[in-house]
Amino acid sequence: MKKTALLLIDLQKEGGTSDVVGMDGILQNTAELIRACRTMKIPVIYTRHINRSDAVGLANGEPLNEDGTPSYYNSNTDSIEIPDMIKPEATDIIIDKYRYSGFYESNLDLMLKGLGVKHLILGGVLTDVCVLATAMDAYYRDYQINIVEDMCGTTTEGAHMAAMLMMANWIYDIKIFETKQLRKKMNGENYQLWESTAPDQLQFSPENIKEVFSKLKSN
Amino acid sequence: MKKTALLLIDLQKEGGTSDVVGMDGILQNTAELIRACRTMKIPVIYTRHINRSDAVGLANGEPLNEDGTPSYYNSNTDSIEIPDMIKPEATDIIIDKYRYSGFYESNLDLMLKGLGVKHLILGGVLTDVCVLATAMDAYYRDYQINIVEDMCGTTTEGAHMAAMLMMANWIYDIKIFETKQLRKKMNGENYQLWESTAPDQLQFSPENIKEVFSKLKSN
Amino acid sequence: MKKTALLLIDLQKEGGTSDVVGMDGILQNTAELIRACRTMKIPVIYTRHINRSDAVGLANGEPLNEDGTPSYYNSNTDSIEIPDMIKPEATDIIIDKYRYSGFYESNLDLMLKGLGVKHLILGGVLTDVCVLATAMDAYYRDYQINIVEDMCGTTTEGAHMAAMLMMANWIYDIKIFETKQLRKKMNGENYQLWESTAPDQLQFSPENIKEVFSKLKSN
Amino acid sequence: MKKTALLLIDLQKEGGTSDVVGMDGILQNTAELIRACRTMKIPVIYTRHINRSDAVGLANGEPLNEDGTPSYYNSNTDSIEIPDMIKPEATDIIIDKYRYSGFYESNLDLMLKGLGVKHLILGGVLTDVCVLATAMDAYYRDYQINIVEDMCGTTTEGAHMAAMLMMANWIYDIKIFETKQLRKKMNGENYQLWESTAPDQLQFSPENIKEVFSKLKSN
C-alpha cells in the first residue's frame, strides 16, 4: 500500500453539513482512519471548501446573506475550519478549493504528484457533489480510487446511494470499502471490499436501488 | 437568448450506447433542436468520446478487446462518428475528448470563450457520467446550464433520474427543459421549465425518487 | 479603465531577489502604483511563490539546504511574505503558487473571472521567468496585458530586455508603460506608451538589443 | 533512455515560418532525429498550431486577412500540415493547439502520462515563443526537458539565443544538446551536452550574450 494518500473532502465546521445523514459516524470513522494512516506514514490531505467573504469568485447562484456575504463556507468565519476531532497536523497538506472538485483551480494534483501518489483513499462530504466530483477528476488523472463508503455522506440516503453506485459503475478500477474492512486490510488481516471488474455492473432502478446498493456494503 | 450554444455530449455511432433507455427519442429530439438552433444562429458544438486504437492514454481499467484495442469508442472505427440524423455541418466545432468531462484536456473552454458563450444548452449521453461531469465542469467555469432532459439518457431510468436530480440540486442556476418546452421558448411562446431557486431543493429517497423526478418534467 | 486589476508577481521578502537589478526602484514604483490603484478601486492581487518546507511538490532540481528544506521561498520562513512597503490589505487577493506561472495549479483565473477582469496591469519579478510566464498564460486566457516595465526586473539587464521584447513581439495586444506614464493615464493626463500593432515588431540582435529595447521605454 | 518521447513543436508548412533563421537545417536535423527515434521505439509527437478558419477562439490581436480569416495557421489551408520530409506515421500522436504552449487546452499531458513519459526531447519553432512556453509548461508538470538546440529556431538569432539561455537558467534539470551529440548518446558513443547544475548559471548582457550562448553549443 505504498504511494497511497488519504484525501478527506470538505470535513469542516460548516453548520450546513449538520444535515448530513450519519455525520457523527462519518467523523468517528474518519478520526479512526486518520490515526491508522498516520501510523503507517500515509499522508493525510484535507480539502476545505471556501467562499470568500467578499463574495469574489463565488459559483453562480451561491446563496448570500442579506449583507452580501456567502451563507456557507464563509472565509471570515470558523465554518471553514476542520473539526478538532479530525484536526490536521502542522505539516499536513490542506487544499483550499472554490468549486466542488478538489482539483479545480487548486494545487491538489501538483501535491499528489509531488508525493508520488498513485492510490487515493477518499472520504468526506457531500457524496453526491464534492466527493463524486473529486473522485471523477482524480480518475481522469489516472489515480486509483478507493472510496470509504461509511466515511462519506450527504443530505439524503437516496443521493448517497445513487452517487456511490455511479462511482462504482463508471470508475473502472474503483474499490469500495467500509472503514472496518479497510482497517483490516491495513492490519494485514482478511478483509472484504467491493471491486469493479467491468463497466456499469450495478445498474439500479428506483425499486431495487437499496438492494443493489447493499452489494457495495461489505460488513 | 444571445451568447448561447448547444452542446451535445457523445452522441456517436458507438454500439455500446444502443443500451441507452430511449435512444431513438433522444436522437429525434436532438435533431429537432439542432434545426431550431441553426435557424436562430445558435452554434452547435459536439463532443466525441475517443479511445485511441493503440490504447495510448486510456482511462484506468478501460475495457480492451483481445487484440489490445479499446472495446468502445475505438478511434479506428466508425463508432466514434456522429450519426447521420444529427450530423455536424462542416463549420461546426467538434471537441474530441478522452475522459468523461468534455472540458478535460480539450479545447472546449477556449472555444466557448471565443464564441462569447454564457448559456449552454446541454444534452446527450450518458446522463450519469459524461453529461453530469460536463455540466459540473461547465458550472465551475461560470457557464449557465440548461439541460434538455429528454435529450439525455443512460443505461437505466434509475441512474438517469438520480443524475438529473443531482444536477438540479447542486447547480444553483440550472434550468431544466423538455425539448418541446424549449422549442416553445425559442419560438417566443409560453413555456414551462424547472428552475433552481435554492440548493438541494429536490431531495429524494428510493421510495419517492420517481415522484420527485416528475417535478422536473414539464409537459 | 474598468474591469482592470493590478497583478503583482512574487514581490516577496525572499533574499534571493536582492540580486534583482534595480529592486529598490521596482518596490518604490510598485508602492506608488498600488496607492493609485486603491484610490481608483482597482483591485490589487499579489502572487507569492512558495516552496513547501517539507519539500513536497517542488519543481525538478529546486535547490535544497543540507537539511532538505528548500533554499528559496521556504514556506516556513518569512521569505515568502510580502514586504511592508507594498503590503496587502486584509481583503486583497493573494495567490500562492508553486511554479513560475501564477496561473498554474492556482485559483488566479477563477478570481479574475469572478472580478470580471479583462485588463491586467502586470509587474514584479523575475521579468524573464515568472512575469513572462504569467503574462503568456494570461494572454492564452484572453486577458489584455499591460506591463509596467520599471516595475519589473530580473538578475541581469540582458535578460530583462530580452524578456520584455519577447512579450512585446508575441502578445499581440500588449501595452507597455513606465510607472510615470501609467500614472498620467490614470490621472487623465497625456501619456506615452508602447503598443503592439503587429507580430514581431521589435526584432533584435545582440548588437542592437539595447537600441531596440529603448523603443519600449517611454519617458 | 526509457520513457522518453520526442516532441516537435509547430513544424508545419506555414509560410510565415520561412523567416526562421536556419529553417532548412532545423528540418534536416529533425528528420534525422525522427529516424533515430523510430529505430529506438521512442514515440514521436507533433504539435500543430491551428487558427480556425472561421476565427473562433483566436488569441487577442491575431492577424486577420481582409475576409476575416486568420493570416497564419489557417485551419482551411495546408499551412497547418506537417512537411513531407518530417511527416508523421499514421499512428503518431498529433496535438492540435490554439495557443503558444502545447499543453494549453490540449490533450498533450494526458497522452504523455499515458505513454509513461518522463523525459522529453524538444525541438521546433519558434524558440522564443512556442518552444519556450511548451518547455516551461512541461517543467511545471515535472517532465525532464532536453532541448535540441539546432532543431530550434526563430525569426532572429538574438531571440533564439536569449530564449535558449532563459531555459538554461530557469529549468533546473534541463539538458541541451546539438543533434549530432544527441545522436551519439543514442548510439552509445561519447557525447557532449550542456547540463544545468544550479539556477541562473548563464547570466548574460547585450555585450556578452554571444559568448555566453556559445557555452550551450557543444560541437
Per-residue pLDDT reduced to its tens digit, D179-215: 999 999 999 999 999 999 999 999 999 999 999 999 9
pLDDT tens readout for residues A184-203: 999 999 999 999 999 999 99
The pairing of strands A194-195 and A175-177 is antiparallel
Chain-centre distance for alpha carbon C47: 9
What pLDDT is recorded for position A219?
Answer: 65
B interface with D, Cβ–Cβ below 8 Å: 54, 56-58, 91, 93, 96, 98-99, 104-111, 113-115
For residue D143, what is the nearest residue in chain A, using CA coordinates?
A113
Q: Is the pLDDT of residue C30 over 50?
A: yes
Instruction: Give residue ranges of D with CB < 8 Å to any B CB.
Output: 54, 56-58, 91, 93, 96, 98-99, 104-111, 113-115
C-alpha cell at B63: 475495457
Joined grid coordinates for residue D131: 518552444
Q: How confident is the model at residue D219 (pLDDT cuts 50, 70, 90)?
A: low
CA distance D40 to chain C (A): 26
Q: Kindly list the residues from chain A whose CB atom is less than 8 angstroms away from the CB atom of residue D141.
A: 113
Summary mean pLDDT of chain C: 96
Which chain C residues have a beta carbon less than 8 Å from that of A51? none
- Residue C18 has a pLDDT of 80
* Residue D149's pLDDT band (cuts 50, 70, 90): very high
Q: What is the pLDDT of residue A123?
A: 98
Cis peptide before A126 (omega within 30 of 0): yes
Backbone angles phi, psi at D151, to 5 degrees: -105, 5
Q: Which chains touch C (3 or more CB pairs under 8 A)?
A: A, B, D
User: Chain D closest CA to B56's CA: distance in Å?
Assistant: 5
pLDDT of residue A105: 98
Mean pLDDT of C64-72: 97
Q: Considering only CA atoms, which of B194, B196, B198, B200 is closest in space to residue B148? A: B194
Cell of A161: 446511494
For B146-183, write each residue's pLDDT tens digit: 999 999 999 999 999 999 999 999 999 999 999 999 99
C118 — pLDDT class (breaks 50, 70, 90): very high
Backbone angles phi, psi at D145, to 5 degrees: -105, 130
8-state DSSP, D100: S
Percent of chain C past pLDDT 70, that is, above it, reads: 99
User: What was the pLDDT predicted at A1?
Assistant: 46
Q: How confident is the model at residue C15 (pLDDT cuts 50, 70, 90)?
A: confident
Q: Residue D64's beta-bridge partner residues?
A: D70
Choose among D105, D121, D124: nearest CA to D163: D124
CA distance B182 to A91: 53
Q: For chain A, give me the number of helices (H) and strands (E)? A: 6, 7
Residue C219 binned pLDDT confidence (cut-offs 50, 70, 90): low
Contact (CB<8Å) C140/D101:
yes
| The pLDDT of residue B218 is above 80 | no
Residues of B in contact with A61 (CB under 8 A): 171-173, 196
For residue A177, give the nearest of A147, A135, A153 by alpha carbon. Answer: A147
Residue in the structure block whose three cell numbers are 446527450? B124
Question: What tens digit of pLDDT does each residue of C200-217 get?
Answer: 999 999 999 999 999 999
Considering only alpha carbons, which residue of chain D is nearest residue B99?
Answer: D110
Whether A136 has a pLDDT exceeding 60, the answer reads yes
- Residue range C76-100: average pLDDT? 97
Residue D200, C-beta contacts closer than 8 angstroms, at least 6 positions apart: C155, D169, D170
Write the ipTM.
0.97
> Does the structure show a pLDDT above 60 at A25?
yes
Dump strand ranges (E) for D32-80.
44-49
CB < 8 Å to B113, chain C? 141-142
For the stretch A142-190, pLDDT in tens is 999 999 999 999 999 999 999 999 999 999 999 999 999 999 999 999 9
Pairwise CA distance, residues D148 & D30, whole Å: 9
Give the percent of chain D with pLDDT over 70: 99
Q: What's chain B's average pLDDT?
A: 96
Residue B2 pLDDT: 60
- Looking at CA atoms only, how far is residue B15 from chain A in angstroms? 15
User: Per residue in A93-122, pLDDT tens?
Assistant: 999 999 999 999 999 999 999 999 999 999
Residue B10, pLDDT score: 98
Residue of chain B nearest D110, judged by CA positions: B57
CA distance A101 to C113: 18
Test mutation, C47, C53, C56, chain A, max A CBs within 10 A: C56
Query: Chains contacting A with at least 3 CB pairs below 8 Å?
Result: B, C, D
pLDDT of residue D47: 98
Q: Which residues pair with A121 in a beta bridge?
A: A6, A146
Show the cell assigned to C29: 514604483
Tens of pLDDT, residues C154-196 = 999 999 999 999 999 999 999 999 999 999 999 999 999 999 9
CB contact under 8 A, A56 and C107: no
For the sheet containing B175-177, what is the strand order? Answer: B93-97, B44-49, B4-9, B119-125, B144-153, B175-177, B194-195
Mean pLDDT along residues B90-108? 97
Q: Write the DSSP assignment of C91-159 as a string of letters.
A: TSEEEEESSSSTTTTSSHHHHHHHHT--EEEEEEE-IIIIIHHHHHHHHHTTPEEEEEEEEEE-S-HHH
Count contacts between B and D (CB, < 8 Å). 47
Of A56, A91, A106, the CB nearest to C54: A91
Q: Which of C107, C112, C137 should one mutate to test binding to chain A, selecting the residue with the greatest count of A CBs within 10 A? A: C107
Residue A16 has what pLDDT?
79
Write down the residue that cell numbers 526509457 correspond to.
D2
- Closest-CA residue in chain A for C110? A57
Structural contact between residues D116 and D2, judged by C-beta atoms closer than 8 angstroms: no
pLDDT of residue B156: 97
Q: Which residues pair with B95 in a beta bridge?
A: B47
Percentage of chain D beyond pLDDT 90 is 95
* Segment B3-42, tens digit of pLDDT: 999 999 999 999 877 899 999 999 999 999 999 999 999 9
Residues of B in contact with D108 (CB under 8 A): 105
If residue A39 lies in a helix (H) or strand (E), which one and from where to where?
A: helix A23-39
Which triple of cell numbers denotes residue A206?
A: 428506483
Residues of D in contact with B90 (CB under 8 A): none
The C-alpha atoms of residue B195 and residue C13 are separated, in whole angstroms, by 50
CB contact under 8 A, D157 and C99: no
Over 90: is that where the pLDDT of A38 sits? yes
Question: Chain D partners of A113 at a C-beta cutoff of 8 Å?
Answer: 141-142
Average pLDDT of C48-71?
Answer: 98
- Whole-number pLDDT of residue A17: 79
Our CA-based measurement puts residue C54 at a distance from the nearest CA of chain D, in whole angstroms, of: 18
Model confidence band, residue A2 (pLDDT cutoffs 50, 70, 90): low
Chain D residue nearest residue A143, CA to CA? D113
Task: Give the pLDDT score at C81.
Answer: 98
How far is the C-alpha of C114 from the C-alpha of C11, rounded, in Å?
23
